[in-house]
Structure 1
């Protein structure tokens, strides 16, 4: 299907968009479909529209939930560091608020880190796990600096060219970045208090703060859920050498590499992204 707009992707899909109270945090949630629960978790500075191109296809097989993480999108932005335990606690709280006992979890970039942590420390809540371009498994300082600087630059100056550069970072095919996606990011970045919110998110790019949550076999090895590593050929945050590290640490994992895509295969390679999820989760 040719992409027209985010609304175009959802135009013929029965769905519900609402805000849910998660431990006092007003959390923006979109749900569609029926079947086994599947929760999709976006990346740093992102929002649920990161999955706009996938909701219709996945809703044919699953009850899909996408949401804005605490401090992201149009969810509340309480002033506290959004470390991985906080982001994971928010996810578990959302599952509780929605009455979801167990779910498949699929996370992209920072969302992959969050769902992996959740699977390690709340194994009873997770069926299967998809880690989609989870990013910088090796905890490289230069990747942290690039992520921090490019994100902060766009939030401090949410002009069209600066925000477009930040979104283009996610894509191998930069011509696929739409004016609509850029405008959505601008709207998020211009929210009152968002500079503080992104500062609270980017603490994870500080090597000292990151130490307590960094990818490491000591906790990754606790993940019992069958896991799919979804990598791409052109991910700017980590190569296949980092996928191999995870394969070595995870008790039950397999790897699928999507060609000709960057950090957002769910947008650039929709059909392959959908098919690999259906095949692995069903």
Structure 2
């Protein structure tokens, strides 16, 4: 009798991605505005420092498919931002300056003087803010689908409503809908990824925490931190704008705006991906980072 063996999928599980790479997952106490924020951190690899920043309502597993590949070239640090994932949830608005101060304090705590920063969505906004206000801490930047550069009210409303709905009702249906929003290939959204989000969103105090994050979708709060040439032009770090062909939060017209504001920037588009190219197009994502951060060349 013959049997047919199904091939092993490219992606088995989030932690399966790290099965053959040495890594450390730990919590560190990070000083922030007179308090200590217990911050969840994953580190792997050796080489130049590279810090990965996730998006709104996210956590470090957003980069689970990339850490092993990036660790071949870099000492990689991925972390849960304050108010996110399994880091502490202090009751205060998580505005861009607060999220940026948390990152700089984390670098101090980890003994990292300078680093490459690669941020997705909200993480790209934070990375750019740090580069503008703490230029001595940043080598090169990757702004990965930073989203809604033009501050469109309809995008802010959709982001706020879909995220809050998933946190208030962390059922499979609502959380899956929120995660699928990030993907062009929605069939790539796994039960594991959805259930991780459900667990995060079910943490005590997380409704309050996500409300503190979503203040950035309020135009009155956002105006103090909105993408604008007054501060974006202060980013001296060489910057790669990493866009995609199907980003639901902003088109190439917004990338062109940033190209006009940033002193030293390039644009690279990953095809056939939505808001999470680091998950949907892993090989392209890794090659882009290798070319830009290791060789200092334009991936295009």
Give how far 1:7 is off.
Answer: 1.2
Residue 139 of structure 2, aligned match among 105, 127, 147: 127
The answer for the alignment partner of 2:26 in structure 1 is: 18
The answer for the alignment partner of 1:222 in structure 2 is: 234
The answer for the alignment partner of 2:192 in structure 1 is: 180
Distance 2:88 2:174 in 1: 24
Q: Deviations over 1:2-53 (max 9, x none)?
A: 0010011011110000000001000000000000000000000000000000
Residue 40 of structure 2, aligned match among 28, 40, 52: 28
The answer for the alignment partner of 2:15 in structure 1 is: 7
The structure 1 segments of at least 4 consecutive aligned residues displaced by more than 3 Å after TM superposition are: none
Distance 2:284 2:245 in 1: 14
Q: Deviations over 1:132-166 (max 9, x none)?
A: 00000000000000000000000000000100000
Residue 208 of structure 1, aligned match among 215, 220, 241: 220
Distance 1:153 1:248 in 2: 36
Q: Is residue 2:288 matched to residue 1:276?
A: yes
Distance 1:274 1:251 in 2: 25
Give how far 1:205 is off.
Answer: 0.1
Q: Secondary structure of the residue that 2:210 maps to in structure 1? A: helix
Distance 1:19 1:5 in 2: 22
Distance 1:90 1:235 in 2: 27
Distance 1:87 1:25 in 2: 12
Give how far 1:281 is off.
Answer: 0.3
The answer for the alignment partner of 1:108 in structure 2 is: 120
Residue 59 of structure 1, aligned match among 71, 79, 85: 71
Distance 2:118 2:131 in 1: 11
Give how far 1:260 is off.
Answer: 0.5
Map 1:147-166 to 2 at 5 A.
147-166=159-178
Distance 1:254 1:73 in 2: 31
Distance 1:173 1:4 in 2: 17
Return the TM-score normalized by structure 2. Answer: 0.94
Larger radius of gyration: 2
Q: Is residue 2:79 matched to residue 1:46?
A: no
> What value does the CA root-mean-square deviation take over the aligned residues?
0.5
5+ unaligned residues in a row in structure 2: which ranges? 1-8, 295-300
Distance 1:53 1:192 in 2: 28
Q: Secondary structure of the residue that 1:247 maps to in structure 2? A: helix
The answer for the alignment partner of 1:190 in structure 2 is: 202
